[in-house]
Structures are given as structure tokens and as C-alpha cells.
Amino acid sequence: MLNLRDRFFHPTGAVELRAFTHGLMPRTVPAMMDGFVEDWKTRGVDAWNEVPNRWRPASGEAVGWWTLPAYLGDAFIAPLLGAPAGTCVMQPHVHWTVQCLLSAPEPFAAGREVVLTENEFPSVLHSVQQWAKLRGATSGSGQALVPRILPPGADGFVDRDAVLGAVGPVTAMVLLSNVGFTSGERLDHGFLRTVAEKAHAHGALFAIDGYHAASTMPVDVPTTGCDVYFGGLLKEGSGSSGNAYLYVRPGLELTPRLSGWFADADPFGFHVEPRPHPEVRRRFLGGTTAVASLYHAVEGVRILLDAGLDAVRAHSLALTARSIERAEAAGLTLRSPREDDRRGAMVILEAERADLLCAWLKRHGVFTDSRKARYLRLAPFVWNTTEDVDRAFERIARALQSGEYLSAEVPAEPGPVT
């Protein structure tokens, strides 16, 4: 078991089990943000050219605000994804990345269908449908986009046969989640590789949403065979908002139409016509990069890489296994996978009025969340211990046995985020 608790700030007196929503703050973040203030204060505009290397101070490598998205991509994201240097870049959020990807003409030169499942996150699911309306207006030029949205199987998980059966001659792109955000289901590298091979046999592009996989387990993007892998550090990566990432397979040619001036080959030439940057990963940059968030972006990733992603995964599996054991002893129904190789870092349980149970637990020092007033979600992570899990389920068992959570007065929440 890992012992990383002291490397994060914790809510006083509470058990935090919402790693899938927002990671805890690493203890090194305040010093990094002080560094941002100092660099801005003392260097002003020259910070775009060079600042002290606060990310890897012993490396001797020069870094400036201008180069940070690619620098952090090479130094931290590539190791997180098992990717080679020169393939990863920081992004503001996944929505931007998906929008850029769908704006590229190359995948739609021949195919038109985008294959995905109902279980995808709205940044993906909604974007594909929105772009379908836009590209539908240009269908005469061969650039149409038709969503092919597959329902889950009877168990609520990805219907793998349906996915493979949907990929064919008219497929332009396949979009799948490495770990489902609503199901906690992990798609293993072998299955992902099979999807990649079938997509490529038909000239289609394969993209993977890795938001709930990377940072919780080892990922080897070359082994998956994918063309694009994207995600963010807000959750288990403990990088807070404004810090997503993108991997682009070496040799893949994409020219997103949503690129900004940071993606230009000669940005300070201020040419009338855009000139795509020779590095494909940089073509996914937009306007002026938001720099402050990059100072705290990889402090959580640093902790995870130092510990080793195999150890992070083993710790997660041990705590989620303990959670499943305690949940079933309390009479709860498991709605996420049981098998280690299919389970992500999240455990999803079915409970009567799970929203009321979630609120009751929060008032008693256990932070979970609920969906559809039916499901309770929790994810013990590297800052949690077995004692945290047992403490949480002691309170859950008490609530279920007494039923007091069903009649307790629920105070108004200040907002929708749980």
C-alpha cells in the first residue's frame, strides 16, 4: 500500500472519496503559485521567453511561458501515457481538444460516421452531435459527419461486439473512453488495440478519452494503437482546472481548423494566411495560453510518477476491492465492474435515494457523490487508507440500517457540484 497521504492537503476531519471529480491539492502547489507571481512580477513580458525552471530545476533545461505546453507535455505527460517525446502537449480542457479534432478535415476525406457510445462524456458526445449539424451543411463536398451512437449492453457496460460491428467502410472516426465516467468500466489495451486495427483497416481514426484512466493506472498509448489520446489532470491527476493534455501518434497528419495563432508555424510573422505548425501537436493550441494554471499542472503527476503507476494502480485496486466487500456486506448492489482488469478507480453502488444518502454522509464527514438519485459513487485514491474506507462504510452501514438519512432534513446545497 502507498503512503502518499502527507503529500496532499486534506479537508479537516473528513474522508475525501471524490477523486473522479477534483483531486486534492498537492502540498507543493502554493510554492509553485508563488513562483508564478514572482516570475510575472520580476520579468513581465520577458517571462514568455524564459523563466526559472520550477518544474525540473535540476535539469538545466531552459523554459519560458511560450514553450510550457510542449515542455510539460514531454517532461510529464509523455511518461504518464508511456508516449515518446514530441507527441504530447498541454490543453486548456478536453472540450477544446475534441472540438479541434472534429474540425480537422483529414478524418472525413472518405468516411463520414463517428462511432461512439452513449456512455461518453458530454464534451465528446455533445460535440460530435453539434459538429454533425455543421458538417451536414457541407455533405456535398464529402465532409459530412454522421454520429453512430451505440447503446450500452444490458449490464450498462460497453457492448464490445457492437463497437467492432459498427466500424466499417463509412467510418471516419471511433471515439471511446479508456475508463467510463458513468460506469467505472476499464477497456483493456487488448480490446483497444483490436478497435484500432479495425478502424485503421478502413482508413478511420481512433481516439481515446483517457480522463479516468491516466493518473490511476499505467497507460501505454503505443500499445493501444490509437491515433489520439486525450484527457485532463483535474481529477486523479490533482492538477486542478485548465490542465488537459493531448497525445498525437507520430506521423499522423491533422490540420484542425480551430487552431489559434499559437499553433501557427510563424506566429510573429503575422501573415494574412495561416501556416500550420510543423509539429502536429502544436496545431491543437489556440489563442494566448493561460499560463498560471500550468504552474500547478503537474504537481500531482509528479507525485504519481515518483510513486510509480504500477503502485498507484495496486493501491487503487486494493481500496476499491475493500470498498466492494464492505458495500456488499451492507446490502448495496454493485454497478461498476468487479474484476480487477475491468475496474477503474471508481466504485458505483445502487442505493435508495442515493442523493439523500450522499448529503447525509457529507454532514457526517464522508465525501462521495450521487447520480440520478440512484447511484452512489466513490473512489478511494492515493491519499486514502484502508481505515478511510472502513470509516466511510461504517457510516454508510449506519445510514442504511437506521434509514435515518431518508427522513433527515437536507440543507440546500450552494451549487450543483457534489
Question: What CATH number corresponds to the domain at position 223?
Answer: 3.40.640.10
Q: Which pLDDT does position 140 carry in this prediction?
A: 46
On whether residue 73 sits in a domain, the answer given is: yes
Q: Which pLDDT does position 59 carry in this prediction?
A: 96
On whether residue 53 sits in a domain, the answer given is: no
On whether residue 42 sits in a domain, the answer given is: no
On whether residue 390 sits in a domain, the answer given is: yes
Q: Which residues contact 301 (CB under 8 A, 6 or more apart)?
A: 76, 77, 80, 215, 233, 237, 238, 239
Domain end among 274, 295, 316: 295
On whether residue 170 sits in a domain, the answer given is: yes
Residues 323, 291 share a domain: no
Residues 196, 273 share a domain: yes
CATH code for position 315: 3.90.1150.10
The torsion of the CA quartet 97, 98, 100, 106, rounded to 10 degrees, works out to: 130
d(CA 63, CA 82): 23
Domain end among 244, 271, 295: 295
Residues 325, 369 share a domain: yes
* Total count of domains within the chain: 2
On whether residue 54 sits in a domain, the answer given is: no
Residues 332, 229 share a domain: no
Residues 284, 144 share a domain: yes
Letter string b/e over residues 184-199, b meaning 16 or more CB atoms within 10 A of that residue's CB: bbbbebebbbbbbebb
Residues 228, 156 share a domain: yes
Whether the predicted model's global pTM rises above the 0.85 cut: yes
Q: What is the residue whose three cell numbers read 510550457?
A: 68
Residues 196, 85 share a domain: yes
Residues 167, 127 share a domain: yes
Residues 369, 225 share a domain: no
Q: Which pLDDT does position 139 carry in this prediction?
A: 43
Q: Are 70 and 282 in contact (CB under 8 A)?
A: yes
Specify the DSSP element, H or E, that contains 392.
helix 386-402
Which residue range is the domain that position 368 belongs to? Answer: 5-24+308-404
On whether residue 414 sits in a domain, the answer given is: no
Residues 320, 287 share a domain: no
On whether residue 55 sits in a domain, the answer given is: no
What average pLDDT values come out for the chain (418 residues) when binned by 10 residues?
A: 95 96 97 98 98 97 97 98 98 97 94 96 95 71 84 96 98 97 96 98 98 97 98 98 98 96 94 95 96 98 98 98 97 96 97 94 96 93 98 97 85 65
Residues 229, 208 share a domain: yes
d(CA 147, CA 294): 34
CA distances from 95 to 47, 92, 102, 126, 245 (A): 28, 8, 11, 10, 11
Domain end among 295, 326, 352: 295
Residues 212, 190 share a domain: yes
